[in-house]
A and B are shown apart, each in its own frame.
Chain A
Amino acid sequence: MTTKKKLDPKQFIINNAIYLILLALVVIITVISPRFFSLDVARDILMQSAVRIVVAMGCMFIIVSGSADLSGGRMVGLTALVSASLAQQAAASLKFWPGLPELPAFVPVLVAMLVGVVLGSFNGWVVAKLKVPAFLATLGSQMIIFGFSSLYFNMEPNRSQPLGSLTQSFRNIGSASLFGVPYIVMIALVVMLVVWVLQTKTCLGKEIFAVGGNLEAARVSGINVFKIQMITYSLAGALYGLAGSMEAARTASATSAYGNAYELDAIASCIVGGCSIAGGVGTVGGVFAGVIIFNVISYGLTFIGISPYWQNVVKGLIIIGAVALDVRKYSAKK
């Protein structure tokens, strides 16, 4: 087979629009303010993006499988609270769980992830077993989870006070570095690597694509659709739980308001990053670029002194532009 590829410039732009927009943004901001192009700025942006990356990776699993999830943000909020409540110093005043000894940092993280898995599999069960449309199922669970968050947050003796006095080792997850690379960024990178391997190298990954691409065809081909949907929601839940504890560690605090609207940012990053809302399409690289683009906009526009209120205008335009492009990419071939 001859592989003489003609480089069609129009196709190239359509297929790589996300990376080109990111490049253009960086170039424009750098021209206006040359100090933007530095390692420090890159690290800042990555640190700000780390939690969002992990949430977006979870969200991507669900979008690729042809489903939707509106409960991710509230899951981040609840798991941030849970992990912070388990990571307080022994001598903290107004301790959430009085008498709880200081736990190693990994314990709150694992418990948060476990809570995420439980909530995620609840979502999966409602969608795959009760056949409630994913959008509505997760709209419902979003409210349920926020309700539980508020109840937990308001328990005696805490009574809705922001949680603080977290152990040094837990806070290190969010603020310490190794060889100049923050742990939190390393975690995000490891998550990306694991998700990439899972998606492209394993049966499970291929089955998720197949279910998202054509659920009926997947079923006929012998794929256990129920199992796949349960797994995608549970995996996403685990990642939301990880993100929740990262968020608590990064800010050294937690309230029930944490994670609000993160799911919308994550969905936006996925769509801008080339996932098809109809399912079956999505790459780790694209979603990563999607998250970074939004953070470059918020960081970069502030950096060159543009009113932060403009950020949302630009972000909104980028979302609409990305979907308009996507529609052309997949439907023009009819």
Chain B
Amino acid sequence: MDNADIVLQLQGISKSFPGVKALDNVSLAVKKGTVHALMGENGAGKSTLMKCAFGLYHPDEGSIFVGGQQVQLHDARDAMDKGVAMIHQELHPIRTRNIMENIWVGRVPYKKVGPIHWVDEKKMQADTQALFDELEIQLDPRRSMGELAAAHCQLVEIARAVSYGAKVIIMDEPTSSLTESEVELLFRIIRRLTSQGVAIIYISHKMDEILQISDEVTIMRDGQLVGCWPAAELTQDLIVARMVGRKMESRFPPRTPNVGAPYLEVEHLTSANPHSFQDISFTLHKGEILGLGGLVGAQRTELMESIFGLRPIASGTVKIDGKPAKITCAQDAIQKGMALLTEERRASGIIPMLSVLENTVIANQTAHTRQYTGGKLFLSEKRRQQDTQQYIDSLSIKTPTTKTPIQNLSGGNQQKVLLGRWLLTGPEILILDEPTRGIDVGAKYEIYTLMAQMAAEGKCVIMISSEMPELMGMSDRIMVMCEGHLSGILDGASATDEQIMMLASTWQKAPEGGAVQ
């Protein structure tokens, strides 16, 4: 490279995980004192690339240069020592300690008296204050971390990165949980950092932000580099076209709308948790796919889990097929014909060490449902085997045998096993929470096909999704939530990115409406 201004350069990076090539020969060059945006759909490989740059993953091929020097990054600490810092989407501060201890954790200033290293509180506070002054952050270094709002936690994290002398700071979706004024604050800090020569890699889905803050934009798709352009030459349409890179139609199976009579009616539902959703009313029809959009913290998952009986409800009613339904636990929901594919596949979906078979039949063989025993005491191994094999075939699940532990399968195949688990219960209402998160493109299409097929059979489908194209491509109607409130319902065919984003970030407060947060 001839340009001495390049502080971080990734060259020809490839990285594979079992069953999927996450990165294929991707290169990236970040110039000193600029904001470099990294864009791409979910699963395009942005996070994987950044984890390589931050030492969390070790690339299979390719090389990394920091300040012109080729480096091997062993782990995050190593990357930080070499001048690369990363602000993760989900922050994990030590909430029980104060701000300055969080910043200097692992390297607190000390005075050595005899054999004992005494913590130098005064120096720590002075250093923190100097750091905050430099960045114009107005926080008392002695405040407890637990008291801080998300935006302030982020500022502390940025200050920490600067304290390491970071030349490059990677920010992964930094605004996903910030309010508008907090975003302004963040942008001010970013501009201050770049004026001091720090480079920022900025990952975000929000186009207007990207165009506002960044100097250059790199776009990725399916683990490959699409290209890098100056932000001034780009428009939202151009970015979308380059991110998607293929016709929208081909990504989703064809559907003929088949919306029938109302089936699920939710009226004035309010969570028992005062910080969660309030006064939600909507109707779901037979044969309908209802998309549910919103930002992180919109309480979409909480709403669906409450309808499914996993979380307590303070007030409101749920009617199924015109009859009031009292659902206080998952058994009730399953008996009433509901199925819920949860968002966190690892945390609440798969039972990792058990076989594909056990994972498939589990929701259908509880003492409640009494399948497989015909009322008798013992399970019929033959029927369990048959049912599992049926879904392995119909969902084309790739697994050596039905006895293989599910943890040995790829993410997409695990997800299909979980879908099989729920289809086996014969649901009338299928709730899918981020059903395509973290799975490859092929498996995504199969899941879309299955949803379309369910709707065509007159079943109801609710899909929570944070992916705009998916929401617009699959839904008959799109319901959007914001901060626990229903901010609007759009027609799926005519809804646009902007409309959804607008509803996701604002809601009309009812005159007597309770305060949020």
Contact = CB atoms under 8 A, between A and B. Distances in A.
Nearest to A1: B401
B328 to A, nearest CB: 11
A214 B366 contact: no
B337 to A, nearest CB: 12
Interface stretch (B176-184, B197-205, B347-355): B347-355
A223 interface: yes
Contacts, number: 96
Interface stretch (A157-165, A169-177, A196-204): A196-204
Interface SS of B by simple majority: loop
A217 B363 CA distance: 10
Given A201-B378, A209-B354, A221 B367 contact: no
Interface string A1-19: 1010000000000000000
A213 B330 CA distance: 18
Interface string B326-342: 00011101100000101
A330 interface: yes
Contact of B310 (A1, A3, A204, A220): A220
A210 B331 contact: no
B358 interface: yes
Given A1-B401, A202-B379, A216 B348 contact: yes
Contacts of B351: 209-210, 213-214, 217-218, 280
B369 interface: yes
A333 interface: yes
B358 A333 contact: no
B358 A206 contact: yes
Interface in B356-386: 358, 362-363, 365-370, 372-373, 377-379
A281 interface: yes
A214 B363 CA distance: 13
Interface residues of A, number: 27
A306 to B, nearest CB: 38
Contacts of A209: 351, 354, 358
Chain A interface mostly: helix
A280 B354 contact: yes
B350 A222 contact: no
A330 B367 contact: no
Contacts of A202: 373, 377-379
B371 to A, nearest CB: 9
Nearest to B333: A222
B408 interface: yes
Contacts of A206: 358, 362, 365, 379
A219 interface: yes
Given A1-B401, A206-B362, A333-B407, A220 B330 contact: yes
Nearest to A330: B353
Interface of A: 1, 3, 197, 201-204, 206-207, 209-210, 213-214, 216-224, 276, 280-281, 330, 333
Given A1-B400, A1-B401, 7 more contacts: A197-B378, A203-B370, A209-B354, A217-B350, A218-B362, A223-B331, A224-B368
